[in-house]
Chain A
Amino acid sequence: MKKGGIRSRFSICTVIAALICAFHLIPFYIMLGVALKSPYDTSSRWVFPGYLYLDNFREAIRYGKILKSILSNVIITGGAVIGITVVGALAAYPLARNQSRVNKVVRTFSLGMMMIPALSLLVPLYSLMVDIGGISTYWGIIIILVTFQLPTSIFLYTNFIISIPAALDEAAAIDGCSRLKVFFLIILPQLKPVTASVVIMTGVSCWNDYMFSLYFLQSPQIKTVTLSVASFFTQTQSNMGAAAAGALLGIVPIVTLYLCLQKYFIKGMLDSAIK
């Protein structure tokens, strides 16, 4: 009797959960429907097309150049993530190991950088990038993304290295390892779990960035996914289907990655949020 009671409560929970899922999936469903419908189909957006129509996707690839944008995103996110992890891990090592007064100041300073909103710097940053010729270049956008994601990376690495016993470094140093060798041979191999978190957290922000791309990528030569989708929508008011198809193609890489590596995505979020 009691068991039955528990089971029925659970099945009600499952029904509620299904409704919650449905609610959160509505926007995806609607956009998929729009992307798969011909422009002459005037049925309601709730009705899924009963035919196969892929011209919108063709148009998004041919005229929206969405695949080229995905490639640009891969280059920008890849370059930025490499910079963020390398510069972050290097900076974290002395901050974690040598907690002198100077280093404490440096650590607080780099955490403080997290609170400075990029939006308040956009005008001077833009004119700086114009001066050094960084507008509409890969290195320009990468350097900006690295700078603004670096505090997160330093924060995560510092906390992690503090948790590795210093006795390990000392033992290696006694055996005649130089500081540089200790870092590369002892510390670096142990950083894999935290590196996964850093790569995921900062990688998602870089991939989805719109504000920096809008400011610093002005030429049509280099366009990120968000920029392409935005310009596609403003240009093709008449053909929403193609714009929707482009937007869907743009989110496929990150959503696929998330679904495959969920555990790491959630761990990364938790690591970086708890201060």
Chain B
Amino acid sequence: MKQRWKKGLINIYYIPALVLFGGFVIYPLLKGLQISFTNWDGFSQNYSNVGLKNYQTLIQDGHIRTTLVNTVIYGFGSTLLQNVLGLAYALFLNQKFAGRNVTRAVIYMQAMVASLIMGYMYYFILQYDGGALNDIMKILGLDAVDWLSNGRRAVLLITLINSIQFVGVSMILYLAGLQGISASYYEAAELDGAGFWQKFRYITWPLLIPAVTSSVMLNLIGGLKLFDIIQPLTAGGPGFASHSLATLVSYTYFRGQNAGYSATIGIFSFILIMVVSIVLMKYFTKREGNV
């Protein structure tokens, strides 16, 4: 009896956490669902229920389609680039040579800088007038390019910059994975005459799958939520061409003063990100089970 009472008592310790989750996550989620059925403008007292009208608009909205494509490029493009480059860096820096620790530190350092500020750094490089990249174009005898003026190119550049900034995260995860692989596997494989590619294919890669899982999950969820870095580079422009779901929610609310519709986009992105995370988690758990 006393034991039970004590067990019950310590559960009180997680009440503060549950209160915070309830008040600032679950309640807003339900409230957001409710707002998504209204035509609220974000500040006035009067608004009415409009039923599924916002959701109908969502399906027909051309901007949403562009934004959705962009979000998928930001999410999956960054994940692909970051992991391929991160793995290459990790394989390279897993060798012993002078300066490898400094190199690791430099690559990971960028992940410490606020993405917003990173965006401004790259703005100085990509700017049309006086940008560092156009100076190189000039030296090569080519015409200056307004790098961020084309929507699709801007989306790809933002994806690239996001990947370069966070490649260190994947690199560190892969390095930790590589260090966990016993050297005796490689020695045995070498005795059997395995080459570089065979060793990678049959030893390194299968044993790295847990690191791949962590890295892909982190990158993908981060990429689908991309917000900070878009602001300094294009602010969603030109027009609506480089918006992500996150920047579009903000734009629709503050600039468009359409809170109802903004909440609808929010609910839509919630469902999208949940579905993607759950599907991926299932896929990776199954795959890790098979190896």
Contact = CB atoms under 8 A, between A and B. Distances in A.
B189 interface: no
A229 interface: yes
A127 interface: yes
A211 interface: yes
Given A10-B97, A30-B132, A273-B215, A251 B16 contact: no
Interface string A241-275: 00110010011001100110010011001100111
A87 B17 contact: yes
Interface in B34-66: 35, 42
Residue among A93, A113, A127 with the most chain B CB within 10 A? A127
A34 B173 contact: no
Given A88-B17, A119-B227, A21 B25 contact: no
B132 A109 contact: no
A128 B14 contact: no
A24 B172 contact: no
Contacts of A250: 114, 117
Contacts of B25: 113, 116, 121, 147-148
Contacts of B32: 120-121, 123-124
Interface residues of A, number: 91
Given A24-B164, A27-B118, A27-B121, A120 B9 contact: no
Nearest to B270: A120
B106 A122 contact: no
Interface residues of B, number: 88
Contacts of A215: 250
A21 to B, nearest CB: 5
Contacts, number: 268
Interface stretch (B122-130, B141-149, B150-158, B191-199): B122-130
A225 B120 CA distance: 13
A115 B274 contact: yes
B1 interface: no
B190 to A, nearest CB: 16
Contacts of B97: 10-11, 13-14, 17
Contacts of A17: 92-93, 97, 99-100, 102-103
B89 A179 contact: no
A233 B232 CA distance: 9
A226 B114 CA distance: 7
B57 to A, nearest CB: 15
B273 A45 contact: no
18 contacts: A13-B97, A17-B97, A18-B99, A27-B125, A87-B16, A119-B245, A120-B273, A123-B263, A123-B266, A124-B28, A127-B31, A128-B27, A179-B10, A208-B113, A273-B214, A273-B215, A274-B173, A275-B214
Given A120-B29, A251-B117, 4 more contacts: A90-B14, A125-B28, A127-B259, A273-B173
Interface of B: 6-7, 9-11, 13-14, 16-18, 20-21, 23-25, 27-29, 31-32, 35, 42, 89, 92-93, 95-100, 102-103, 105-110, 112-118, 120-122, 124-125, 130-132, 135, 164, 169, 172-173, 176, 210, 214-215, 217-218, 221, 224-225, 227-228, 231-232, 245-246, 249-250, 253, 259, 262-263, 266-270, 273-274, 277
